[in-house]
Amino acid sequence: MLTSVQVALASTAIALVLGTLMSLALQRYSFFGKNSVNLLVILPIALPGIVTGIALNNAFRGIMGIQACRS
């Protein structure tokens, strides 16, 4: 258990420093690839919603047999 706590504290400290520096860089400076870096930072937050949406779409279309309406 002590090893797990040590690893958790170390990874938290590293994430805190890197996250703070990344947020300051994205907020204050304009640099090449800023939009790509911003996307990579936001992606872990947005990805669970996308995966849930795809899973619900597959469930409705495949399991329940509901077809998409076409216009």
Rounded to a whole number of angstroms, the distance between the first and last alpha carbons of the chain is 58
How far apart CA 49 and CA 39 sit, in angstroms, is 15
Q: pLDDT tens digit string along 24-35?
A: 999 999 999 999
Q: pLDDT tens digit string along 23-66?
A: 999 999 999 999 999 998 888 888 888 888 888 888 888 877 76
Quote the pTM value.
Answer: 0.56
The dihedral built from the CA positions of residue 35, 51, 17 and 27, taken in this order, carries a sign that is positive
